[in-house]
Amino acid sequence: MTAPQPITDRRLSTFWTCMEKHRLEYEMGYRPSYAESGRLSRAWAPLANHLLSIANSYSDSGVGADVLLRDARLAIPKGYHWIDRAKLSATLEAAISVLGQGEFLQRHQVLCVGSPYRFEHLNPDTKASSPLWFRTGVIDAVVRHRFSKDLFLVKHLVTDEPIDLSSKFWDRVRMDNRVAADVVGAATRGHRVSGVVYMAASKCQMSPLSATPSDKRKYTVATDREPSRLYAGQRECDEKPAEFHERVRASIMSSPMDYFRTAFVPWDQRKTEAHLRDAWAASQMMRITRVNGWAPRNPDACHRFGTCPYWRVCCGQENPAEGRFRSFVAQDEEVPLVSIFQLKE
């Protein structure tokens, strides 16, 4: 019998977005190259967790935001392009500003960050454990309120959308019950949470400025008082890294809550039950696509968030076994499998 396979939040999200993309990635084992993946999205959760960890360790030492920012920046991956590093650095500064103003860091103790979990995938009707799948994931963080002693799950989100509290982004977050797996996962680690603190980062869309083409440049007329110079908005050379970093920082810090925001949602056990039922239904469809070796495509998702990396594959213009895709084998961390029946009071 084939060993049970993991079901993660990312796997469920991919399946619900497009079953064929799920088949290519999780059944065939393909992944787009890292150059085509979202570097900022991948980097943010570890960075934000590092920030929470060091803020927790500094909570009683009275260090300033400048020291916190300096140490948080040390976790930005060295190999990242200077454009990405500038955006991550400025977003970290925005996060420190927002969390400090709301006194979140002062009022909460961090209990764990980046903790893996694993639990049984159960039939919601019979409560039988699936021989094909198990649930697994990583908890972003769990914090405890220093006064009420309530526990809260922290969930990091990254989006291209506006994150003001009236935006459609938060409507979708409140409807998305996939965080329920992390709530159950936290319980398997001994942390029964009463709510979720979402920490959302909105991607900075700025790009370095390029030199104005020589044939497009226009200069003012020189006078006795002022030499000739380029028109405003034109440049003689490309924007340098330090110059770009400062421009990004100034833009983000002029309105930090446009780039980082928190929202608290009390947890309702009915969301857990709904998620476990949804996940079971999805796993049954996954099994069918595995047996058939075929999955329906979702044309509406091809260009929803940029062009899907598998679009040319689905159009018959590219072979995923060649070129810009790499073979992927899931590395399953050795985490004890927990029965969720053990979690009942």
Q: Is the pLDDT of residue 191 over 80?
A: yes
- Say if residue 37's pLDDT is above 80: no
Per-residue pLDDT averaged across 313-331, rounded?
73
Distance CA 231, CA 330 (A): 54
- Tell me what pLDDT residue 328 has: 58
Residue 188 has pLDDT above 50, yes or no: yes
> What's the CA gap between 40 and 191, in Å, rounded?
29
**pLDDT score recorded for residue 36:** 44
Q: Is 22 exposed, middle or buried (0-12, 13-18, 19+ CB in 10 A)?
A: buried
- pLDDT recorded at residue 341: 46
Highest mean pLDDT among 26-40, 208-222, 288-302: 288-302
3-state secondary structure of 109: strand
Three-state secondary structure along 270-291? Answer: HHHHHHHHHHHHHHHHHHHHHH
Q: Is the pLDDT of residue 239 over 70?
A: yes
Give the percent of the chain with pLDDT over 90. Answer: 61
pTM of the model: 0.86
Structure tokens at 79: 């190999």
Q: Where are the alpha helices (H) located in the chain, listed in sequence order?
A: 9-17, 19-22, 39-57, 65-73, 82-101, 104-107, 168-175, 179-188, 241-253, 269-292, 311-314
* 259-280 pLDDT, tens digit each: 999 999 999 999 999 999 999 9
Over 90: is that where the pLDDT of 117 sits? yes
Q: What is the mean pLDDT of residues 27-55?
A: 80
Q: Return the pLDDT at 340.
A: 47
Please state which of the ranges 40-44, 103-107, 190-194, 272-276 shows the lowest mean pLDDT: 40-44
- pLDDT, residue 95, reads 96
pLDDT of 218 reads 86
What's the chain's average pLDDT?
88
pLDDT(337) > 60:
no
The residue-averaged pLDDT of 324-345 equals 52
pLDDT tens profile 195-237: 999 999 999 999 999 988 888 888 888 888 888 888 888 888 8
Q: Is the per-residue pLDDT at 333 higher than 50?
A: no
Average pLDDT, integer, range 39-64: 83
**Across 42-67, average pLDDT:** 85
Domains and CATH numbers, the chain: 5-209+239-343 (3.90.320.10)
pLDDT at 338 over 60: no
pLDDT of residue 197: 96
CA dihedral 305, 274, 279, 292 (to 10 degrees): -90
